[in-house]
Amino acid sequence: MTTPTATATSADRSSRSGWSQLAALLRLGPGLRLALPGLLVLDLLSYTTVLVQPQAVKWLLDSVSTGADFTPALLLLAAVSACSTTLVVVSSHQMGKLGQRVVLGARSGMIGALLRARVTTVLRMPVGDVLSRVGSDTTLLQQTLSEALVRGAVAPFVLLATVVLMALTDLTMVLVLLAVVVVGVGVERLVLRGLSRATEAGQARVGDMLSGLQRVLVAFRTVKAFGAEEREADRVVGQAEAAYRQAVRAAGWKAVIDGTGWGLVEIMFLASLGMGAAKISSGEMSVSDLVAFMLYVTTLRTPVAVLTNAASAVTTGLAALARVEEIRTIPAEQDDHHPADPRPPVPADDRTSLGIVLDQVWAGYGDQPVLKGVSLSLPRGLTVLTGPSGIGKTTVLNLVERFLEVQRGRLLLDGVDITALRRDELRGRLAYVEQDAPLLGANIRESVRYGAHRADDAELIAALDSVGLGDWVRSLPDGLETAIGERAVAISGGQRQRLAVARALLRRADVLLLDEATSQLDADNEQTLLRTLVDQSRARTVLLVSHRVSAAAQADLVVLLDENGVRAVGRHADLLRSDALYHRLATTGAASPVEGTPAHGDWHDGEHTDSRSSHGS
Ligand SMILES: Nc1ncnc2c1ncn2[C@@H]1O[C@H](COP(=O)(O)OP(=O)(O)OP(=O)(O)O)[C@@H](O)[C@H]1O
């Protein structure tokens, strides 16, 4: 994502590849390339009618001065006015519609790219900045399209036609005016670069501010609990002020550009009037010719203003487009997949044990390896994966889900290398409960059915019963319809965790992956959930990442990871006897529900902490 240092670079890039970016803009709206020529013609027509006006006025004045009937000239003027008004209304509406198509095209492209991108890519992005790009940068594109692509494309023709018509009246006056225009355009080019930088920096600061605000809103309780309201408010307001400063800088550059355009026309008006008056007094020009000429100068105001605005709109739009394109062009997951392992999948009759196998797996984030040649067999049944914090337990789940790619080695699911499976096929066979157990959906029914849309209410209730939430849901006045709030604030952490597990169970997947899924449960609820997992594990592979002894005690297999990889594999009771570290970790806890083992102890960084105070539900 764009950093302050990257901003200038990006601005340079946008000005260098302006045309290709404009072409990218044209690809954004649905049917834009087809609609654009029609709009150009409409805009050209509306200008053309305006160009007829000075000639009609001259005709009228000449008719008056020669005593002829001026009604036809007046009627022509009325017709021209009616035509131009209608054309302005129609083209303005069409332009607005087309602009909105660009916004829609950009937004859908970005939303699609974000959702198809790799997990590791998207999780690194500051959320507020992404929202700012989707919400506000896209609206700047609309202006670029109408100001630059349509009006800006038509304006040079109008300018040329006006100048030709003026030249037919008086060539010397036109040449003087053109010299004024050349100076003005030169000044404008100088300030456009400043506008571009200020605009892009301003949009980036808005992104920072939204990211800062989002961070505070997500951790709102923590902010309050630490009495950090003022500090956080100052920080976010500071970011808002930084955005304001950049916006003011941009407004300054824009004012210079607007002023140059406006001043240019004023100078042209005064120069024409002065030269015209001199020519009339010397008899070189008639009054009606000067009036027509002055009307053309007035007409020139519009294309000159359009070109001035177009220049700043293109600059602003390209800065926004660069930020939009950064998101729209994020590679999709399937574009960056590792080629399938050249080694053939294990033949079906060799699949002595179904489940997950890590074969000499190397994996990590960036250049930092986390798993270094780990080999591990996770057969059908309940396996608890444990070990110190930050050792790579979640990384194993990330690899199974292919949120992260295996760098070396192989990961097999039921004997087949997972890279040989399509991602949707692979994920269709997995059910996953991530560490924070986020819920999606407005009410309980929507949230639990998220991964199994065809499940009926009876199946839903059965899944809720199996995680110990059935009675609670039945006791609610609105039952499954009960709203849980956008961030599931209306329920406890433990309820949220169990709803997430129920959602995973409903998928009836081959493999259940659970990351600390019991961390917020009290002893009774944890036992209910563990019984369900044991039950589930008879027909599938259940891999539970957990620091809890109570979970390990129920597992068919416990895998202990340490900094060297897999430290020990076995049943809980055997590991207690055979592995000194495991024994130490397990026996420093409180009394155990299982004979000879402690209960509800959490292992964190090699230490055991009593978790009976964890939030129950
Ligand atoms: N997206 C990421 N980008 C960079 N590094 C990461 C990323 N996710 C995890 N890591 C690093 O990889 C290592 C392993 O992390 P992982 O989440 O797998 O640990 P864990 O054993 O599940 O820890 P915990 O028990 O605290 O959840 C850690 O050092 C962590 O900082």
> Does residue 392 have its Cβ closer than 6 Å to ligand 1?
yes
* pLDDT of res. 402: 92
Q: What is the three-class DSSP state of 472?
A: helix
Percentage of residues in the chain with pLDDT exceeding 90?
19
Inside any domain, residue 352: no
In the predicted model, is pLDDT for residue 602 greater than 70?
no
Q: Is 365 in the pocket of ligand 1 (CB under 6 A)?
A: yes
Which residue CA neighbors atom 28 of ligand 1 most closely? 390
Measured in Å, residue 395 CA sits from the centre of ligand 1 at 6
Least confident of 42-46, 401-405, 470-474: 42-46
Say if residue 40's pLDDT is above 70.
yes
Q: So what's the pLDDT on residue 224? A: 79
Q: Are residues 330 and 449 both part of a single domain?
A: no
**255: burial class by Cβ within 10 Å (0-12, 13-18, 19+)?**
exposed
Neighbours of 175 (CB within 10 A): 11
Asked whether 196 lines ligand 1 (CB < 6 A), one says no
* pLDDT over threshold 60, residue 45: yes
Task: Indicate if 28 and 152 belong to the same structural domain.
Answer: yes
pLDDT tens for 405-442 read 999 999 999 888 998 888 888 998 999 999 888 888 77
Residue 359 alpha carbon to ligand 1 centre in Å: 20
Per-residue pLDDT at 8: 35
Residue 317 has pLDDT above 70, yes or no: yes
Q: How far is residue 555's CA from residue 552's CA, in Å, rounded to a whole number?
A: 5
| pLDDT at residue 240 in the model | 92
The answer to whether residues 34 and 160 belong to one domain is: yes
The percent of residues above 70 in pLDDT, for the chain, comes to 85
Question: What pLDDT sits at residue 462?
Answer: 93
Contact 297, 269 (CB under 8 A): yes
pLDDT of residue 488: 62
394 CB within 6 A, ligand 1: yes
Q: Which of 308, 334, 360 is the last residue of a domain?
A: 334
Distance CA 35, CA 317 (A): 20
Residue with CA at minimum distance from ligand 1 atom 17: 394
Domain-terminating residue out of 508, 527, 560: 508
Q: Is the CB of 498 under 6 A from ligand 1?
A: no
Indicate the residue among 334, 368, 397 that finishes a domain. 334
Residues 439, 328 within the same domain: no
Nearest residue (CA) to ligand 1, atom 10:
365
Q: pLDDT-derived band of residue 353, with 50, 70 and 90 as boundaries?
A: low
Q: Please tell me which residue, 273 or 187, carries the higher pLDDT value.
A: 273
Nearest CA to ligand 1 atom 26: 389
392 CA distance to ligand 1 middle (Å): 6
| Domain-located, residue 85 | yes
Condensed to tens digits (0 to 9), the pLDDT of residues 550-593 reads 889 889 999 999 888 899 999 998 998 888 878 877 776 433 33
Q: Place 611 in a pLDDT band, splitting at 50, 70 and 90.
A: very low
User: Residue 544 falls within a domain, yes or no?
Assistant: no
Mean residue pLDDT of the chain comes to: 81
pLDDT over 90 (residue 90): no
Please name the residue whose Cα sits nearest to atom 16 of ligand 1: 392
Q: What pLDDT was estimated at residue 610?
A: 33
Nearest atom in ligand 1 to the alpha carbon of residue 561 is: 21
Residue having the nearest C-alpha atom to atom 1 of ligand 1: 120
**Are residues 324 and 439 part of one domain?**
no
Same domain, 446 and 330: no
> What's the pLDDT score for residue 543?
95
Determine the average pLDDT of the residues in 142-166. 80
Whether residue 218 has pLDDT greater than 90? no
Residue with the nearest Cα to atom 24 of ligand 1? 389
Atom of ligand 1 nearest to the CA of 396: 18
Q: Could you tell me if residue 242 is inside a domain?
A: yes
pLDDT digits (tens, 9 = 90+) for 188-203: 777 777 887 888 888 8
Alpha-carbon distance 391 to 413, whole Å?
A: 23
pLDDT score at 514:
94
390 lines ligand 1 (CB under 6 A): yes
pLDDT at 598 exceeding the cut of 80: no
**How wide is the angle at C-alpha 430 spanned by C-alphas 127 and 460, nearest 5°?**
90
Which residue from 262, 237, 168, 245 is spatially nearest to 202, judged by alpha carbons?
245
- The most confident of the ranges 34-38, 254-258, 398-402, 439-443 is 398-402
- Count of structural domains within the chain: 2
Q: Do 602 and 549 touch, CB atoms closer than 8 A?
A: no
Q: How confident is the model at residue 18 (pLDDT cuts 50, 70, 90)?
A: low
Pocket test for ligand 1, best of 125, 393, 513, 546 (most atoms within 8 A of CB): 393
Instruction: Classify residue 599: in a domain, yes or no.
Output: no
Atom of ligand 1 nearest to the CA of 124: 1
CATH number of the structural domain spanning residue 62: 1.20.1560.10
What angle, 0 to 180 degrees and rounded to 10, lies between the N-to-C axes of helices 18-26 and 287-328?
80
Instruction: Report whether residue 370 contacts ligand 1, using a CB cutoff of 6 Å.
Output: yes
Residue 448 in contact with ligand 1 by CB distance below 6 A: no
Using the structure block, give the residue that is written with the tokens 């601005």.
Answer: 11
Which domain, by its residues, includes 471? 435-508
* Average pLDDT rounded to a whole number, residues 224-243: 88
Q: What is the pLDDT of residue 406?
A: 92
310 and 176 inside one domain: yes
Q: What is the distance in A from the centroid of ligand 1 to the CA of 396?
A: 10
Same domain, 451 and 330: no
Of residues 603 and 85, more confidently modeled: 85
Domain membership of residue 57 (yes or no) is yes
User: Quick one: pLDDT band at residue 340, thresholds 50, 70, 90?
Assistant: low
Identity of the amino acid at 240: A
Q: Which of 225-239, 330-344, 370-384, 488-502 is modeled with the greatest confidence?
A: 370-384
Any atom of ligand 1 within 6 Å of the Cβ of 550: no
* Each residue's pLDDT tens digit, 237-262: 999 999 999 989 988 988 887 788 77
Residue-wise pLDDT for 458-499, tens only, equals: 999 999 999 989 999 999 888 898 888 666 667 888 888 899
* Residue 368 lies inside a defined structural domain of this protein: no
pLDDT score of 614: 31
Structural domain includes residue 388: no
CATH code: domain of residue 454: 3.40.50.300
